[in-house]
Structures are given as C-alpha cells and as structure tokens.
Amino acid sequence: MEAHPVDAWQDDDNLKEKISVGSPKTLDERCALAETCLTKLTLKIPPLVDDLANSTEIAYTAWPDRIYVLDREGNVAYKSYPGPFGFKPAEMADVLKRVLPGPSAQLK
C-alpha cells in the first residue's frame, strides 16, 4: 500500500523528486510499482508484494514502513516504531548482531 499516492496524501518530497504514483488497483500494478522502486532506489533486498487486501500489512501493522527482526525460531526479536519517525535501520543492525550466529554462538 502506497504511503503518498497522488489520489490520497501527496507528499511534497515526492513532487520534488517527480514521483507521481496513484494507488495500485491490481496486483500487477502493485508489482510494477515495486519493480520501479527497486530500480530507482537500486535495492538489493529480495522484495515480496502484499496482496490487495493488505493482509500481511495488517498482521504486522506495517504501514507505511516498519522493520522487524525475527530470530531463528521465527519469534519477533525486534519491532521498530512505525515509520517514518520510527524507521531506524541502525537499531535493526544492533539487534542483528545479537541474533546472528557469531563466534560466541559457535563456541556453545
């Protein structure tokens, strides 16, 4: 689900960047937008696309942006505050250092 589509709350920053996008009505439109996002932002993260009912967004209260870190058992190890105010990748990095298997984990 777009945060600032032209048919809702258009953002000044998007206007400056000449990003003018409407809310996608089909999954194909949503996938096309995601591909544009990957290209423009040169993202290397493997992206997945939520369904049009936004069921994953609802389950995670993820809109407009949010970060989760899950441990190896699939439990939530970190949940950021909702973006844009709470979107802090540095916090995620700190948690990742803790949950990723490192030298100390291998000793055990």
Partner 1 sequence: MPPWIWCSVGHVGKDGNESVVSCQSSVASLDNKPRFRVVPTAYCPLPTADRSPWGPNVETLKTVAWYVALTYVLMLAALFGVMRQPVLFGQVMSKVPRPLLMIIPLKPLWFLARAGHLQVGDQAPEFSLPTVDRKARVRLSSFRGQKPVVLIFGSYT
CA distance 101 to 20: 42
Contacting residues for 81 by C-beta, under 8 A, at least 6 apart: 66, 87, 88
CA nearest 68: which of 50, 41, 89? 89
Q: Which of 47, 52, 94, 102 binds partner 1 (CB under 8 A)?
A: 47
Among 42, 53, 69, 107, binds partner 1 (CB under 8 A): 69
Which of residues 73 and 108 has its CB atom nearest to partner 1 in the complex? Answer: 73
Amino acid letter, residue 106: Q
Tell me which residues touch partner 1 (CB under 8 A).
1-5, 8-11, 14, 19, 21, 27, 31, 33-38, 40, 45-51, 54-57, 59-79, 81-83, 85-86, 92, 96, 99-100
